[in-house]
Chain A
Amino acid sequence: MRPPAEYYQRDRDRHPPALAPDYKTSVSRSPRFAPISLEQSVSEITGPVFGHQDVGLLDHDLIRNYAQTGDPVGERIIVHGRVLDENARPVPQTLVEIWQANAGGRYRHKKDTYLAPIDPNFGGCGRTITDESGYFFFRTVKPGAYPWRNRVNDWRPAHIHFSVFGASFSQRLITQLYFEGDPLIARCPIVQSLPDAVDALTAKLDMNATIPLDTIAYRFDIVLRGRRSTLFENRLEGN
């Protein structure tokens, strides 16, 4: 069997270091040995395949997907964008999942004890499948900032967690979206563990996608690892 076309080597400088001492939890959870670099086999260039049968019709609408008595409290927003690869090609039919705190900065999670209240109409998670152009959109409320135990007065900037698959397990990525203009971004030890990341992780206000008198919009494009051309392997095969 000829070797599969590989995904580009991951640019580790593009990601926060495992050990980021100002983010205290990373100190005891970061490997000390270097990872072993693998040439990819079928184990790495394959990954789970998802389709529309995996998600429900309301799963992308966080304003409605857990509503009990009415809409959740908060600033109504659309978050939309495209999933692309490093070759600037769309990543279609891929699963995008998000989770976030409510407008008061409280998570619906049995381990979150922050004093801001749970919103009875807000679950805080959503998911969708990208279309043929890699496009996705969610409707939600803007999450609130909240304090966390790191240094005693650390606050997380408002953020939405994103989980993306791509076409192979080597493209698997979890990241966070921040909002343009948030002064807490510059003070956050998680974001600042890679200062160069701020621009790529900041969703931009997108007035063209707003719904007047209804919902404001933010744009957030996601880039997954790209894949090499198969040309070289084809040549080998012809030898």
Chain B
Amino acid sequence: MTRKLRETPSQTAGPYVHIGLAPGAAGFDIYDQELGWDIAGANAKGERIRVEGRVMDGTGNPVKDVLLEVWQANADGQYAHPESGAVEDGFRGWGRVITDFETGAWGFDTIKPGPVAGRNGAVQAPHLNLWIVARGINLGLHTRMYFSDEVAANAADPVINLVEWESRRQTLIAKRAEEDGQVVYRFDIRLQGSDETIFFDI
């Protein structure tokens, strides 16, 4: 099999991406159900967590019109997809996250995924796959979020270990805290600069 066609070129999502993908945030109610608001569902096993952060541009200011998508495995490390294993009823593992237009802060609730099968028998540390689009981003950016309390698994993770610059690996690791009895992971994404987040060409 060889490629017969070329991929359609990407174009920026622009500042009004919410109209299409989160119309409630744009300011109107049109669909019976907006997609991507419930990542794990009510039946999901595993630890309930919250993830919060901001996306910063090269000047250090928050990007206030970004949209993120999350793709994750369940607590058993299985994705809700025919090429992975079984998951709980209602577990989709996919979500959409938008920022507060005034502060750029975003957050979402989900469950902590389990370790995921890697290539050739390797094991990948628990992680969330993230995809970031916004005005000024010409091709959606893929990154991963790992968990600070998974020190041993992160040290053995085949993807983290692909990053030659050890000082940059920490850009992939969210910091765990407990706030009012709720587990919150903090994950800031930096689009540009010396502390730029690692992005992946997948």
Which A residues are within 8 Å of any B CB, using their own CB?
1, 3-4, 8-12, 14-18, 20, 23, 25-33, 35-50, 54, 56, 59, 65-66, 84-88, 95, 97-100, 107-112, 123-125, 127, 161, 163, 169-170, 172-176, 190-191, 193-194, 196-197, 200-201, 222-226, 228-229
Give chain A nearest CB distance to B126 CB in angstroms: 11
In the complex with contacts A35-B199, A35-B200, A87-B3, A108-B57 CB distance below 8 A: no
Pair B124/A8 contact, Cβ less than 8 Å: no
A53 to B197, CA, bound (A): 37
Give chain B nearest CB distance to A85 CB in angstroms: 8
In the complex with contacts A86-B4, A161-B17, A29-B65 CB distance below 8 A: no
A30 to B58, CA, bound (A): 8
Give chain A nearest CB distance to B71 CB in angstroms: 5
Q: With a CB–CB cut-off of 8 A, which chain A residues contact B14?
A: 161, 176
Q: With a CB–CB cut-off of 8 A, which chain B residues contact A86?
A: 3-7
Q: With a CB–CB cut-off of 8 A, which chain A residues contact B69?
A: 172
Binding-face segment, B40-48, B128-136, B147-155, B176-184:
B128-136
A71 to B17, CA, bound (A): 24
In the complex with contacts A45-B83, A48-B92, A25-B135 CB distance below 8 A: yes
In the complex with contacts A39-B119, A87-B3, A170-B11 CB distance below 8 A: no
Pairs A–B under 8 Å by Cβ, sample size 15: A1-B121, A10-B7, A18-B137, A28-B57, A43-B71, A43-B116, A47-B71, A86-B7, A97-B21, A107-B19, A123-B23, A125-B19, A161-B17, A163-B13, A222-B8
Give chain B nearest CB distance to A212 CB in angstroms: 30
A100 to B20, CA, bound (A): 8
In the complex with contacts A16-B10, A31-B192, A26-B137 CB distance below 8 A: yes
Q: With a CB–CB cut-off of 8 A, which chain B residues contact A99?
A: 16-17, 19-21
Q: What is the chain A residue whose CB lies nearest that of B144?
A: A43
Interface residues of B in 171-202 (CB under 8 A from A): 191-193, 196-202
Q: With a CB–CB cut-off of 8 A, which chain B residues contact A28?
A: 57-59, 136, 191-192
Pair B9/A30 contact, Cβ less than 8 Å: no
A239 to B144, CA, bound (A): 34
Known: A48-B92, A107-B19, A163-B13. 8 other contacts (CB 8 A): A16-B138, A30-B138, A32-B58, A39-B119, A123-B30, A127-B20, A173-B7, A226-B3
Tally B residues with Cβ within 8 Å of A.
Answer: 82
Q: What is the chain A residue whose CB lies nearest that of B93?
A: A48
In the complex with contacts A175-B8, A194-B9, A38-B201 CB distance below 8 A: yes
Pair A174/B9 contact, Cβ less than 8 Å: no
Q: What is the chain A residue whose CB lies nearest that of B61?
A: A28
B167 adjacent to chain A (CB < 8 Å): no
Q: What is the chain B residue whose CB lies nearest that of A10?
A: B201
Could you give, for residues 58-100 of chain B, a 1 whenever the CB lies within 8 Å of some chain A CB and a 0 otherwise? 1100010100010101000001111110000000111000000
Pair B33/A229 contact, Cβ less than 8 Å: no
Give chain B nearest CB distance to A108 CB in angstroms: 6
Pair A38/B57 contact, Cβ less than 8 Å: no
Pair A229/B1 contact, Cβ less than 8 Å: yes
Q: With a CB–CB cut-off of 8 A, which chain A residues contact B196?
A: 31-33
Give chain B nearest CB distance to A81 CB in angstroms: 10
Give chain A nearest CB distance to B58 CB in angstroms: 4
A176 to B13, CA, bound (A): 8
Pair A108/B162 contact, Cβ less than 8 Å: no
Q: With a CB–CB cut-off of 8 A, which chain B residues contact A174?
A: 10-13, 17, 133, 140
A127 to B96, CA, bound (A): 16
Pair B26/A110 contact, Cβ less than 8 Å: yes
A185 to B185, CA, bound (A): 44
Give chain B nearest CB distance to A116 CB in angstroms: 14
Pair A38/B159 contact, Cβ less than 8 Å: yes
Q: What is the chain B residue whose CB lies nearest that of A220?
A: B8
Pair A41/B117 contact, Cβ less than 8 Å: yes
A21 to B166, CA, bound (A): 31
Give chain A nearest CB distance to B124 CB in angstroms: 6
Q: With a CB–CB cut-off of 8 A, which chain B residues contact A50?
A: 35
